[in-house]
Amino acid sequence: MSEVDSVMLNFSPGSLMLLNGILAIVMFGVALDLTLGDFRRLLETPRALLLGFFSQFLFLPAATFLLVLLLRPAPSMALGMMLVAACPGGNISNFITHRAGGNTALSVSLTAVATVCATIMTPFNLAFWGSLYAPTLPLLTETSVSPFEMAWTVAVLLVVPLILGMTINARYPAFSARIRGTMRVLSMIIFAGFVVGALAANWQYFLDYVSLVAGLVLLHNAIALGGGYGIAWAGGLDEYDRRAVSVETGIQNSGLGLILIFNFFGGLGGMAIVAAWWGVWHILSGLALAAWFSRRPTSTRGAPA
């Protein structure tokens, strides 16, 4: 067992409750942009929905498992990679898709569907792939992770704020429009501030081990972004939709991953450092990819504002 596998980050129960609340607020802010029409739109284009689902919840976890088999990272880092791959798309994916000149409506719809599906798929993928890899199996059994308890946690943190935000958007559209921008900016500032504070409290651990995960996360994220694009291309989607599927696959909800790590794994160091660094890196890589795509507009509908 690697030294990083025994590290437990400093994180109090009060801090965990605060992080839970912040993630719910972030999800509520995202939901203020959603309508039932976003879900209906996917039913009108089922191929994009199926390819997006396949890329996020089937391809990425399987590719992560193969990457773990190839590189053999420390068990806690391997399990962190599996957990990140099991999470739904992150809330900044819609913004990055827009900047990339991709189908923002498809991105928003996939985020919403993935958030709902995560209640089942996130615990299932973590339990399934984690149990197939011998070094990570003891971490799952020692912590007695219950897929049902994890599913309930995901539902409370993601689905309940999603339903609440969509309901307010549907019943009070004028009020929703007024607070939408403020909520989005405020929630992201609060979340970023909290992450910075958590890093500061564990700064030495971060400095000691981030070099171990930086290359892993870079490669893992590149596989996610490139694989999502490749699957959309192989599935016959046009460039406008390929960019959305690519970003949805490569921008993961690492905030949810961190919460699950602190809720169910006691802040296990390797897992937490992978998820935290992914949360930093996928913003940088996503913005860089968006800048590259934006110089290659597909059409006027896909050009960023």
Per-residue pLDDT of 199-219, as tens digits, reads 676 677 677 777 788 899 999
Query: pTM, whole model, 2 decimals?
Result: 0.82
pLDDT at 60 over 90: yes
Whether the pLDDT of residue 7 is over 50: the answer is yes
Q: Which residues contact 203 (CB under 8 A, 6 or more apart)?
A: none
User: Chain-centre distance of CA 296, in angstroms?
Assistant: 26
- Of residues 266 and 222, more confidence is placed in 222
Q: Which tokens in the block code for residue 120? A: 């089942």
Residues 6+ apart with CB under 8 A from 298: 101, 238, 239, 240, 243
* pLDDT > 90? residue 221: yes
> What are the domain boundaries of the chain?
3-299
Give the pLDDT score at 303. 44
∠ CA 288-111-261, nearest 5°, is: 85
**pLDDT tens-digit profile of 14-59?**
666 777 777 778 778 777 877 777 677 767 778 988 999 999 999 9
Rounded Cα distance, 254 and 283, in Å: 11
Looking at CATH, the fold of the domain delimited by 3-299 is given as Na+/H+ antiporter like fold (1.20.1530)
Three-state SS sequence of the chain: CCHHHHCECCCCHHHHHHHHHHHHHHHHHHHCCCCHHHHHHHHHCHHHHHHHHHHHHHHHHHHHHHHHHHHCCCHHHHHHHHHHHHCCECCCHHHHHHHCCCCHHHHHHHHHHHHHHHHHHHHHHHHHHHHHCCCCHHHHHHHCCCHHHHHHHHHHHHHHHHHHHHHHHHHCHHHHHHHHHHHHHHHHHHHHHHHHHHHHHCHHHHHHHHHHHHHHHHHHHHHHHHHHHHHHHHCCCCHHHHHHHHHHHHCECHHHHHHHHHHHCCCEHHHHHHHHHHHHHHHHHHHHHHHHHHCCCCCHHHCCC
The neighbour count for residue 159, using CB atoms within 10 Å, is: 17
Supply the pLDDT for residue 125.
94
Whole-number pLDDT of residue 250: 94
Q: Alpha carbon of 301 to those of 16, 63, 66, 138, 233: distances in Å?
A: 42, 32, 37, 50, 19
Q: Compute the distance between CA of residue 93 and CA of residue 236 in angstroms, rounded to an integer.
A: 22
Interacting residues of 92 by C-beta distance below 8 A, sequence separation 6+: 188, 251, 283, 286
Residue-wise pLDDT tens digits, 151-190:
887 888 778 888 898 899 888 888 888 888 788 777 777 7
The reported pLDDT for the residue numbered 78 is 94
